[in-house]
Each structure stands twice: as structure tokens, then as C-alpha cells.
Amino acid sequence: MIELRHVSLSYAGTEVLKDVSLEIRPGEIVALMGPNASGKSTLARILDGLLIPGSGECVVDGVSTKDDPLNARLQVGLVFQDPDDQVVSRRVSDDVAFGPLNIGAPDVEARVADALKTLGIEHLADRDIQTLSGGQKQLVAIAGVLAMRPAYIVLDEPTAMLDQDGTGLIMQAVAAAKSAGKGVLLITHDPDIMGAADRILVLKDGRIASYNAIAPTDADIELPGLARFWNRLGERGIKVDRPQLTVDGTVEVLCQLKPKA
């Protein structure tokens, strides 16, 4: 499990994150929403050990990033919002292989092939990355993280440059990661992909404004369709203990509701 325990961080005298606590569990998809400049990308870099909290701590599977930041970088795969920020090789397959080679993985070729196949980009293996579109670069960046086979995956606006087909491939990869017991954090403004989340967190002004966003908040965000559905039921006096954000979960809860006599 990843835990942030009362984490705060300042840049040039400005507090970017303020007393943030949260958990990301294995086999769970968590969506993180919030307006621009709310601290979402900073939070992602703390989870990966790239940034160390000014106060509080980030703990990855029992190990604090203050004590061992390398552990976090091996256990948490981070995909940046701009794929050009993590391109290290010209050839696609070489770029995807870079991480596994650096940790001495014995099965680099298999990892690269599996990652490219998962995202449907095997045909790009020999391409020069600089000739790819922004969306294709994003898929290559995600493939590089998948090839590392981390325990947790953090995706910062993963669908911002993608069309519907590319988004579908990423969500298939996210679902497969969940099924494999990996924890996933989706940082996104896209209400459609938030529907895959088990929980939705809202970050505003450096603080967690909601730990399970179902009702509207004042954070200037659009909630996914099922969250709005549960909110409307609540307005009509129909309350449930644990609103679900997946179609299957919603159907299960609705079937358990007892009609009023």
C-alpha cells in the first residue's frame, strides 16, 4: 500500500501541498481530480520518490521515501503528463527497454513485447520516436512504465493527447493492472475514464477536498456520470452506504435496494 501521511511541500515559499493524507491499495483504481495548479502533479512526483515531502512522509509498502527513494521509483511507475519529459532513446523499442535494462531484468525483450502488445503499438517498435504523434508518444511512455512491472502505476493526464481508440487501450491496460493486483492512480479531468475508478479524490488548493467524490464539490470539476446519478438519487431521498462508480457495482447496489412499502 502507498500511504501519504500528513504531507506538505513548499516551493519558493509557497505551500503547494498542505497536510495531505491518502492511501492507494493494491488492486484499486483511484482517480484524482482537481483544478489546474492544485498540486496534482507534485503529489504524483512524491508518490514516485522524485520529490521528498517537506513534512510528513510517503510510505510505499512499508518503506518511507525519505529512507529509500529508490524503492519508490522501482515500485511506483510514473507516467508524466508530457511524454517528451521521459523519452530517453530515439527508437521506440529501445526507449521501452531502457528501464528494465537499467535494473538488470533478465527478460527485457519479453517485457518490451508484452508492453507494446498491451497498448496495441507493436507496429511502432522500430520507429523513431521523434516521428510519432503526441498520442503515440504517450502510449510509448506508458509502455515504458508497464515494462518495468511496478506494483503501482501513476498516470498523470494519460488520455490528454489520445483519441477514443487510444483512450480505450489505456483503460484496458488499467483494468488489466487492477486484475493483476496493482494499485493505479489516475490523475485526470476526463469524467468518462473516472468511471473506472473505485474511489475519486478531489484536490483543491493543495488539500484533499473530498476522499470519495459523489456529490458535487466547489472544486470546478465535472463528476462522472455514475457519480452524478448517485447524487440525484440522494436528492430524491434514496441513500446508499457505498455508492459505486462502475456499471456492475451500480447494478448490484440497485438490486439490493428495497422498495418502499
For residue 52, name the pLDDT band (cuts at 50, 70, 90).
very high
Is 70 exceeded by the pLDDT of residue 239? no
pLDDT of residue 226: 56
How far is it, in rounded angstroms, from Cα 161 to Cα 246? 24
Residue type (1 letter), 30 = V
Q: What is the mean pLDDT of residues 42-52?
A: 94
pLDDT of residue 2: 96
pLDDT of residue 196: 80
Compute how many other C-beta atoms are within 10 angstroms of the C-beta atom of residue 27. 13
181-238 tens-digit pLDDT: 999 999 987 776 777 888 888 888 899 887 765 544 444 555 555 556 655 666 666 6
Distances (CA, A) of 21 to 18, 40, 197, 224: 9, 13, 19, 23
pLDDT of residue 50: 94
φ, ψ dihedrals at 241, nearest 5°: -70, -40
For residue 135, name the pLDDT band (cuts at 50, 70, 90).
confident
74-124 tens-digit pLDDT: 999 999 888 888 889 999 999 999 999 999 999 999 999 999 998 889 999
Is 80 exceeded by the pLDDT of residue 151? yes
Of 83, 108, 88, 87, nearest to 159 (Cα)? 83
157-168 tens-digit pLDDT: 888 777 888 888
3-state SS, 92-153, equals HHHHHHHHHHHCCCCCHHHHHHHHHHHCCCHHHCCCEHHHCCHHHHHHHHHHHHHHHCCCEE
pLDDT of residue 218: 45
C-alpha grid cell, residue 23: 492511501
pLDDT of residue 81: 84
Instruction: Give percent of the chain with pLDDT exceeding 70.
Output: 80
Strand bridging mode 207-210 / 199-204: antiparallel
C-alpha grid cell, residue 171: 483503460
User: So where are the chain's domains?
Assistant: 2-216, 224-261
Instruction: Give percent of the chain with pLDDT exceeding 90.
Output: 49
pLDDT of residue 10: 93
C-alpha grid cell, residue 25: 491499495
Which CATH fold topology does 2-216 show? Answer: Rossmann fold (3.40.50)
pLDDT of residue 261: 47
For residue 247, name the pLDDT band (cuts at 50, 70, 90).
low
Q: How many residues does the chain have?
A: 261
Burial class (CB in 10 A: 0-12, 13-18, 19+), 77: buried
pLDDT of residue 60: 96
How far is it, in rounded angstroms, from Cα 208 to Cα 186? 15
For residue 4, name the pLDDT band (cuts at 50, 70, 90).
very high
